Each structure stands twice: as structure tokens, then as C-alpha cells.
Structure 1
Amino acid sequence: MKRLQFLPLLAVLFVGSIALAENQVATLRPDIPLDQDGAATQIPGVVNTDIRQVRNYPDQPPLIPHQIDNYQIDVNANKCLTCHSRTAVEISQAPMVSVTHFMNRDGQTLAAVTPRRYFCTQCHVVQHDARPLVENSFADVDSVLDYVKSQQDEAN
């Protein structure tokens, strides 16, 4: 009985060894054997347009439309708040942080950004000018709704 339990494992190992022998392992580095180093690719640049990006789905955290290299964001300081705090937006013309960032776990609104929303880059990221690593068929919510509406119109 114990021998039968190992049979599926042996089959997987056998198939895996054949795939490795034929270099059929799917990787993000095509045309380069696994035992060799390929040339390093160019690091994509940050999109630095200061133009707000369209969100792809509801409740998506907005992308950061500018470089944030060397921004200090730690328990001692938050460089983002020099432009995005309530008191700075009039001068900087940057969008103010969302009111949700002032609410604690109990739903109470605080005078300052809540500690759980203080570290901006845990949700917000800069956009890079990079090609997709894998094929992607993602459709934003507006495209899906347009498609559904066109299907309903055809049905009527």
C-alpha cells in the first residue's frame, strides 16, 4: 500500500526531469539556458508626468505620477505629506490624501493621518514605462460594463 502512495510522486519527478532535460521550463527569460546568465535588461524609467492615471478598478489606490526616489517615509517623517497634507495642498496644488486616511480602525476621524495609513508606499506605487512580463488580457471595469451593455443591446 505504501508503495502505491509514492507512485504519483515518482511520476511527477520523472515528467519533471524530462522537461528539464529538454529545457522546457517556462521562465521569464526565454532563449537563455538556465545554466547561463543573460545580458541585463535596461531598468525601465519611472513615468514622471505628474498627470493622474486612470484607475483600473474601484477602490484601486491611485498611482504616484512622479518620482519618489530618496523620499523619507518612516516613523520619523513622511515626505509625501509635505505636498499632500490638508495644510499643504493649497500651496502645492497636489491632491489631498483621502479622508479615509484620517479614520482609525473604529471609524473615528482623526486630526492627522492615522498610523495605519501613514506609510504611503505600502499601497501607492510609481508607474514604470515597462513592457508587460507576461501576456495580459486585463480589462478595466468600464470596458467590461461597455461590453455587457453592448451584449444587452444586441439581445434586445
Structure 2
Amino acid sequence: MKKLIGAMLACLMAGSLMAAQGQITTESGGVKSLRNSADLAVEAPAAQLKNFRKDGDLYDRQYMHQPPLVPHDIRNYEIDTKVNKCLACHSFKNASVMKAPKISPTHFEARDGMTLGEVSPRRYFCLQCHVPQADAKPLVGNSFKPVEALN
């Protein structure tokens, strides 16, 4: 433990010395990122929001077991430990009234395979897997081909 703390202190002291000597800067050094060449110390304006596809204009799934994409705007949807706006329409209780797809029965399974009476905590935060459909340019090149069986 003492060696680990000693090594961490040595790294911090070396970094401080390099910064004092002007060897470390906050400039990007010509490296481009999603922020382009903006200095990381400067707060850049937020990117424009993407245009969400309209209801009924759906993307097909591209691979087996792909979570369905969200075909509507979800801006300002509240999803936290007490509230899940998605369940207002997609729960078994509300889906038929709201004319929305029901959430999959797999979302009621615990990690050990046991079926629960409520949505499993590991499946409760919908936006970890289900993302909105948006007309957005790819950030990097992509040569992915969809699974043949899904065409």
C-alpha cells in the first residue's frame, strides 16, 4: 500500500513539475475530437439536437437481439429510481389503451432467471439499450452490413 501511495505522489509531483516548466498545455495540439479542435479548458456550445424521425417512419433492426429503437421524441422524459415515463405507455397495463407495444416479458426476469412482478431493476432504465431513431450523420466511417436474415 505504501508503494502505491508513493508511486501516486511521484506521478503527481512529476506532473506538477512538467506543468510548471511549460511541458504540459491545455491546447489540443492539433488533435480533432467530437469537439473539433476546441480547447478542453473552454466551454464549447452544445451540439444541435438531432431531428427525430416521425412516428410510423421506422428503421429496421440491423442485428439479432437488437433492442427496438424509439420512434418518437423522448426529450424531457423522466426516468429515475422513482419514475419511468416509458412505462406510462409501454407497461402491460397501459399498452393496449395507448396503442403502444408492450415491454418484453424478458424485462421482468431477474438475473437468476426468476420472474418478478415488476420490471427488473436491471431493465428499468430503458434508455441504456433503447435509443431514439434520429437522422444523424455517422461520426466515424462504418462498413457494418445487416444480418442477411433480417433483410
Q: Please, what TM-score do these two structures have when normalized by structure 1?
A: 0.64
Q: Does 1:65 find its partner at 2:71? A: yes
The residue correspondences of 1:42-53 to structure 2 (distance < 5 A) are 42-53=48-59
Runs of 4+ in 1 over 4 A off after TM superposition: 25-29, 32-35, 39-42
Which residue number corresponds to residue 114 of structure 1?
Answer: 120
**Identical positions, percent:** 49
Which residue number corresponds to residue 95 of structure 1?
Answer: 101
What is the aligned-residue RMSD (CA, Å)?
3.0
Which residue number corresponds to residue 8 of structure 2?
Answer: none
Letter matched to residue 126 of structure 2 = C
Counterpart Cα distance in 2 of 1:108 and 1:27: 44
Partner deviation per Cα, 1:27-61 (whole Å, 9 max, x = no partner): 568xx8777x9x98754312232444311111111
Which residue number corresponds to residue 16 of structure 2?
Answer: none
Counterpart Cα distance in 1 of 2:109 and 2:101: 18
Displacement of 1:71 in angstroms is: 0.8
Of residues 63, 80, 85 in structure 1, which corresponds to 2:86? Answer: 80
Whether the 8 Å CA contact 1:47–1:129 is kept in 2: the answer is yes
Deviates further, 75-84 or 130-139: 130-139
Name the structure where helix makes up a greater proportion of residues. Answer: 1
Whether the 8 Å CA contact 2:50–2:136 is kept in 1: the answer is yes
Counterpart Cα distance in 1 of 2:124 and 2:37: 44
Counterpart Cα distance in 2 of 1:115 and 1:140: 31
Counterpart Cα distance in 1 of 2:79 and 2:146: 31
Count of matched residue pairs:
121
Match of 2:51, SS? Answer: coil
Q: Kindly name which structure, 1 or 2, has the bigger radius of gyration based on alpha carbons.
A: 1
